[in-house]
């Protein structure tokens, strides 16, 4: 069986582009293959769509994640069959944990070609489902537009979802009905539930020691001020979830600590609380299980209240609670900038320089891992900024996140705080930064090891690493030259190995537009 192509401008692929654009999805991060060639040809006919090439699919979906977190709307992606999707999954996983809206379009073989089991054939649905809130295989060229609108709606519904459309090549090249592109049926986030609001208000007044754990849009400046007012009025403690898609912080904003990552610190941070109130956050859980340690840092017997689910209007829920408890809006306490550091370059002197020089409206994309554990403390007084974390624990989120955030927010400086080991998973993002001339400063923390794992190995009681452990956890033989790596992909770069040297380079980078990488030897 074969199938004939529709006329250029009237194919399923054209309907796909038209539907995306009609629903305000106008950026497409792409790594195409043969089965997507009609989609590429259709994109070529729509100059309103900004197409951004990633040289590896993890860059594509990680950038779509960073873009949507900052733009507040989904980007599309273009991925090539099962293996292309597979490469994209780790950063889809991170995006899913951040509730990021995303519309992935995965090209597949022509529907009649699938039974032949050609070499690239695979079970795309099985691959997509674990990392997608919505998966739909397009059934015909006529189905392209409604399916795309459905995906956009599913992606955009609060709190946001990763969606995957599978587009068989024959439905991309087939003739589509010439009708207006389908519009996504959007839905506003749910209003606060008065019963929950009054139950939480009552709990906050019962004298028990209470922690309020927040995530999502509860971590924007306005909502944080409201939450601080509630805390001031009731004596509750505020915390952010351990990892969050986006948090507004810095000068003029309320500083909130996160529940720590390390198990013992997390347990200590929640110790003694008798009540926990969740505002768009998940019930706190330890990142990994450890022998003889609990799975959650929440103390035994601590009572849980949910003020609002991630899909609710979190700022409105906090407003309602504030009014119920008679809270005012808090004025944030001004945090001081740290004094300059001198001498050795280490996690603290790095943090000091970053804290001092972060410019107004910067976007920090944080995959600093061990080096960055204490960065919040040194940046609480920095100029107002957004802080984006790698939310799902999948390594290789940082560089792509920064790429996408910079595309979403021209005119804002993006700072990628990046562990060296993690940087290698998606180093190809550097090329996209150069290609798109993005205003990103990448800071590589080059400790030349998987420091987090060396710590965990110690925790296992295995003693000092021997030959095999050493060869799996140390990256110093050979050392990676990140300056050359950046230059190989067209990104200017320099190296620092003292506190003063790093501060100088970082301060200069903050004032100079365009991509730049600093390898910080620590």
Site for its own copies in 198-257 (CB under 8 A): 242-243
* Stretch touching its own copies by CB under 8 A, among 68-76, 127-135, 220-228, 246-254: 127-135
Give residues 152-181 in contact with its own copies (rule: CB under 8 A). Answer: 169-170, 173
35 binds its own copies per the rule CB under 8 A = yes
Contact region with its own copies (CB under 8 A), list: 207-215, 368-376, 380-388, 454-462: 454-462
Q: Is residue 130 within the footprint of its own copies (CB under 8 A)? A: yes
Which residue lies nearer to its own copies by CB, 482 or 502?
482
Tokens of 87: 């490469």
448 binds its own copies (CB under 8 A): no
Comparing CA positions, the residue from 479, 471, 510, 511 lying closest to residue 497 is: 479
Residue ranges in 405-424 that form contacts with its own copies under rule CB under 8 A = 421, 424
3-class DSSP assignment, residue 154: helix
Instruction: Scan residues 335-394 and list those touching its own copies (CB under 8 A).
Output: 391-394
CA distance 63 to 65: 5
Smallest gap from residue 429 Cβ to its own copies (A): 11
For its own copies, which is the closer residue by CB, 285 or 507?
285
- The answer to whether residues 29 and 67 touch, using CB atoms and an 8 Å cutoff, is yes
Among 24, 117, 374, 497, binds its own copies (CB under 8 A): 117
Site stretch for its own copies (CB under 8 A), options 224-232, 272-280, 328-336, 458-466: 458-466
Nearer CB in complex with its own copies: 6/381: 6
**The one among 180, 188, 336, 467 contacting its own copies by CB under 8 A:** 467
Interaction between residue 34 and its own copies (CB under 8 A): yes
Shorter beta-carbon distance to its own copies: residue 456 or 500: 456
Identity of the residue, 118 or 344, whose beta carbon is nearer to its own copies in the bound complex: 118
**Nearer Cβ to its own copies, position 92 or 322?**
92
Q: Are 400 and 476 in contact (CB under 8 A)?
A: no
Q: Which residue has the tokens 């920095």?
A: 382
- Of the candidates 2, 188, 301, 411, which one interacts with its own copies according to CB under 8 A? 2
| Residue 30 interacting with its own copies (CB under 8 A) | yes
Q: Is 452 in the site for its own copies (CB under 8 A)?
A: yes
Residue 71 in contact with its own copies, rule: CB under 8 A: no
410-428 burial, b at 16+ Cβ within 10 Å, e below that, comes to: eebbbbbbbbbbbbebbbb
Of 144, 286, 307, 369, the one binding its own copies (CB under 8 A) is 286
The number of residues that bind its own copies (CB under 8 A) is 120
Nearer to its own copies, 191 or 472 (CB): 472
Using CB under 8 A, which residues numbered 474 to 503 contact its own copies?
Answer: 475, 477-485, 487-490
Asked if residue 110 binds its own copies (CB under 8 A), the reply is yes
Pairing of strands 492-496, 440-446: unpaired
Q: Determine which residue in the list 469, 494, 500, 501 makes contact with its own copies, applying CB under 8 A.
A: 469
Burial of 344 (0-12, 13-18, 19+ CB in 10 A): exposed
Classify the C-alpha dihedral 422-424-428-430 as positive or negative.
positive
Task: Round to whole Å and give the CA distance between 108 and 83.
Answer: 10
- The dihedral of CA 207, 295, 423, 431: what is its sign? negative
Q: How far is the CB of 176 from its own copies (least distance, A)?
A: 14
The verdict on 521 binding its own copies (CB under 8 A) reads no
For position 56 contacting its own copies by CB under 8 A, the verdict is yes
CB–CB of 144/171 below 8 Å?
yes
Residue 155: closest CA among 136, 175, 142: 136
- Residue number, 4 or 178, with CB nearest to its own copies: 4
> At closest approach, how far in Å is the CB of 489 from its own copies?
6
Interface residue with its own copies, options 40, 218, 255, 281 (CB under 8 A):
40
**In the structure encoding, which two tokens stand for residue 216, read together?**
């999502």
Stretch that binds its own copies, among 65-73, 299-307, 351-359, 459-467 (CB under 8 A): 459-467
Angle between helix 398-408 and helix 57-71 axes, rounded to 10 deg = 50
119 forms part of the interface with its own copies (CB under 8 A) = yes
Q: Of 67, 376, 425, 506, which one interacts with its own copies (CB under 8 A)?
A: 425
Residue 331's CB: how many other CB atoms inside 10 A? 12
Q: Which residues pair with 168 in a beta bridge?
A: 108
Cα gap 322→231, rounded to integer Å:
9
Q: Does 86 bind its own copies (CB under 8 A)?
A: yes
Residue 372 in contact with residue 346, Cβ under 8 Å? no
Least Å distance, CB 376 to its own copies, is 18
Figure out which of the listed residues 69, 73, 93, 249 binds its own copies, where binding follows CB under 8 A. Answer: 93
Spatial neighbors of 456 by CB under 8 A, at least 6 apart, are none
CA atoms within 13 A on the CB side of 138: 36
Q: Under a CB-based contact definition with an 8 Å cutoff, are residues 92 and 102 in contact?
A: yes
Report residue 245 CA to chain centroid gap.
5
Angle made by CA atoms 91, 455, 425, in degrees to the nearest 5: 25
Of the residues 183, 257, 287, 323, which one makes contact with its own copies according to CB under 8 A: 287
Which DSSP string corresponds to 95-149? HHHTT--EEEEEEE--GGGGGG--TT---HHHHHGGG-SEEEE--SGGGHHHHHH
- Binding status of residue 123 toward its own copies by CB under 8 A: yes
Range in contact with its own copies (rule: CB under 8 A) among 199-207, 340-348, 429-437, 504-512: 429-437
């Amino acid at each position: 069986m074969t199938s004939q192509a529709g006329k250029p401008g009237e194919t399923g692929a054209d309907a796909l582009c038209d539907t995306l654009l009609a629903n305000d999805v106008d950026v497409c991060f792409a790594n195409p293959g043969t089965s997507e060639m009609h989609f590429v040809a259709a994109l070529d006919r729509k100059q309103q769509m900004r197409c951004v090439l990633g040289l590896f699919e993890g860059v594509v979906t990680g950038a779509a994640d960073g873009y949507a977190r900052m733009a507040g709307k989904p980007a599309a992606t273009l991925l090539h069959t099962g293996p292309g999707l597979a490469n994209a999954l780790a950063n889809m996983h991170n995006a899913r944990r951040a509730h990021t809206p995303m519309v992935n379009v995965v090209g597949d073989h022509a529907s009649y070609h699938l039974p032949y089991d050609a070499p690239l054939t695979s079970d795309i649905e099985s691959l997509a489902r674990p990392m997608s809130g919505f998966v739909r295989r397009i059934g015909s060229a006529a189905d392209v537009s409604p399916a795309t609108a459905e995906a956009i709606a599913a992606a955009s519904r609060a709190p946001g979802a990763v969606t995957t459309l599978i587009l068989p090549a024959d439905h991309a090249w087939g003739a589509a009905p010439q009708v207006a592109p389908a519009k996504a049926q959007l839905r506003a986030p749910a209003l606060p539930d008065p019963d929950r609001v009054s139950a939480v208000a009552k709990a906050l007044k019962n004298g028990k020691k209470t922690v309020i754990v927040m995530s999502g849009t509860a971590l924007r400046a306005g909502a944080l001020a409201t939450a601080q007012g509630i805390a001031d009025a009731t004596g509750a403690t505020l915390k952010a979830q351990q990892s969050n898609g986006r948090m507004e912080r810095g000068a003029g904003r309320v500083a909130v600590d996160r529940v720590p990552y390390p198990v013992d610190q997390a347990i200590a941070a929640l110790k003694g609380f008798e009540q926990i109130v969740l505002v768009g956050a998940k019930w706190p859980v330890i990142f990994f299980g450890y022998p003889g340690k609990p799975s959650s840092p929440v103390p035994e017997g601590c009572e849980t209240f949910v003020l609002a689910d991630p899909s609710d209007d979190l700022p409105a829920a906090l407003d309602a609670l504030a009014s119920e408890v008679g809270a005012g809006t808090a004025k944030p306490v001004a945090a001081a900038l740290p004094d300059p550091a001198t001498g050795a370059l280490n996690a603290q002197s790095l943090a000091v320089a970053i804290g001092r020089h972060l410019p107004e409206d910067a976007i920090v994309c944080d995959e600093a891992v061990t080096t960055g554990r204490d960065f919040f403390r040194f940046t609480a007084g920095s100029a107002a900024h957004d802080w984006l974390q790698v939310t799902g624990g999948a390594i290789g989120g940082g560089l792509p996140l920064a790429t996408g955030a910079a595309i979403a927010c021209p005119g804002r400086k993006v700072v990628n705080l990046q562990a060296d080991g993690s940087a290698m998973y998606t180093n190809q993002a550097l090329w996209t930064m150069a290609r798109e001339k993005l205003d990103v400063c990448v800071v590589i923390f080059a400790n030349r090891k998987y420091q987090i794992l060396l710590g965990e190995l110690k925790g296992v009681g295995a003693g000092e690493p021997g030959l095999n452990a050493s060869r799996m956890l140390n990256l110093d033989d050979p050392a990676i030259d990140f300056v050359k790596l950046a230059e190989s992909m067209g990104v200017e770069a320099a190296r620092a190995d003292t506190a003063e040297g790093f501060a100088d380079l970082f301060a200069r980078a903050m004032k100079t537009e365009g991509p730049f990488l600093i390898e910080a030897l620590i």
